[in-house]
């Protein structure tokens, strides 16, 4: 593996780590189940076929529907990064709803919404479109 590939791999891993730390802080502010804090990339070997990678998350707060297969670990990492961003975007929408009608929510929910709004703004990599053009080799 070239040095550039290693740096690129570590950069994506660092981005995912940063997002998962923030996700843990966010979901930990209120009642949550442990499963909300785990994100997986699994290598799947089936029927004698070439293995592929799959993303899994079994949380209650965010329930993704990602049944895609990825031919490379790097492709799966990029997809995981986009998926965690999607989770934050969904929660950001909820946070804006809370702040539009705060009287309908309890103080814990308001605090959680305020925290997300503040921290979302401080993380520029989470803004805008998280969809990037996928290479054909990233999907099966």
* Containing structural domain, residue 99: 33-138
- Where residue 32 falls among pLDDT bands split at 50, 70, 90? low
Answer yes or no: is 22 within a domain: no
Helix (H) or strand (E) holding 125: none
Tell me the whole-structure pTM to 2 decimals: 0.76
Looking at the predicted structure, is the pLDDT value of residue 82 above 70? yes
Domains identified in the chain, total number: 1
**Average pLDDT estimate for 113-134:** 65
**Average pLDDT estimate for 34-62:** 89
Looking at the predicted structure, is the pLDDT value of residue 37 above 60? yes
Answer yes or no: is 105 within a domain: yes
Q: 12, 18 in Cβ contact below 8 A?
A: no
Answer yes or no: is 15 within a domain: no
For 18, counting Cβ atoms within 10 Å of its Cβ (0-12 exposed, 13-18 middle, 19+ buried), the class is: middle
């Amino acid at each position: 593996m070239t040095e550039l590939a290693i740096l690129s791999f570590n950069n994506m891993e660092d981005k995912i780590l940063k997002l998962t730390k923030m996700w843990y802080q966010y979901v930990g502010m209120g009642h949550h189940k442990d499963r909300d804090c785990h994100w997986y990339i699994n290598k799947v070997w089936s029927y004698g076929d070439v293995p592929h990678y799959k993303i899994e998350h079994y949380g209650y707060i965010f329930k993704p529907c990602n049944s895609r297969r990825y031919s490379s670990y790097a492709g799966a990492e990029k997809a995981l990064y986009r998926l965690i961003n999607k989770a934050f975007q969904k929660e950001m929408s909820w946070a804006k709803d809370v702040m539009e009608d705060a009287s309908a929510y309890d103080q814990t929910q308001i605090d959680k919404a305020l925290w997300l709004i503040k921290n979302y703004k401080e993380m520029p990599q989470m803004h805008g479109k998280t969809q990037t053009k996928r290479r054909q080799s990233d999907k099966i």
